[in-house]
Amino acid sequence: MYNEFTKHGVTEKTPKSIMLGAGTLHKGLKFGYHALTAEPADWATNYKNYYAKSDADHYAKLDGDAAPAFDSSIHFYKGWNAKETLIGATSGGNKVSIKPEVIDVDVDGALVKVKGLTFKQGEVATLETNLVEITPDLLKNTLIGETVDSDVEGFALLESKPDIQEGDYFENLAFVGWRTDNTPIIIIFDNALCTTGFEGEAKNKENTVVKVTFECYQDVTADLMVLPYHIYYPTQG
């Protein structure tokens, strides 16, 4: 009796659909045509994704407003520019949160929430991370500061600035997590700004972890009703 029910939610797809690990963070992650300065080591096995350095016709497909001048020393490939855009190592994992903001309209006589009377009134998308690599670029973006001429040889100098500028936003900030079938789930924020500043606690026998939160922002000339985030989920498996 009741054989149509099961006592668990496991199906044949379950083993392939689990996401494991902390994932990776990227700045400027894009899918398209990207230049390489040297012939890739896996050229022979991935010839479908690479284009020979002598193939000038394909240069018109490269990203950018204008195709670069043909250079026989450059190879390029089609795919994600993942290796070139890594932000750095993390410790303690990453957390992505995308939450719609809704309002429930109160109607006299209705004592419960009513389907059709809940309206979306915006959304918030954040990416929290724990970085262990401290670089000048990271410091500049977390502090919303700027690099100025250093008065000490061998040191870069970062200082505060009064205003948020275009370069303070991370373009295509991405989180990449991996499923157990070795396919990635990719979440991209078109524009992201660090809103928590820089905070690192140094202790003996422990590495310093910088906890920061990035928030997703919309372009002022785009649709101001939604945020520009994108989730790429693999169709195989």
123-142 tens-digit pLDDT: 999 999 998 988 888 888 88
193-227 tens-digit pLDDT: 999 988 887 888 888 888 999 999 999 999 999 99
7 phi, psi to nearest 5 deg: -100, 10
Does 186 share its domain with 216?
yes
Burial of 176 (0-12, 13-18, 19+ CB in 10 A): buried
C-alpha distance across the termini of the chain, in Å: 33
137-195 tens-digit pLDDT: 888 888 888 889 999 999 989 899 999 998 899 999 999 999 999 999 999 999 999 99
Q: Which domain holds residue 48?
A: 31-80
Does 76 share its domain with 160?
no
Does 56 share its domain with 113?
no
Residue 192 resides in a domain: yes
Q: What's the number of domains the chain is made of?
A: 2
Let me know: does 75 contact 53? Beta carbons within 8 Å. Answer: yes
Does 68 share its domain with 124?
no
pTM given for the model:
0.82
Residue 1 resides in a domain: no
d(CA 150, CA 134): 19
Does 210 share its domain with 161?
yes
Let me know: does 101 contact 122? Beta carbons within 8 Å. Answer: yes
Does 212 share its domain with 223?
yes
d(CA 142, CA 49): 36
Does 187 share its domain with 213?
yes
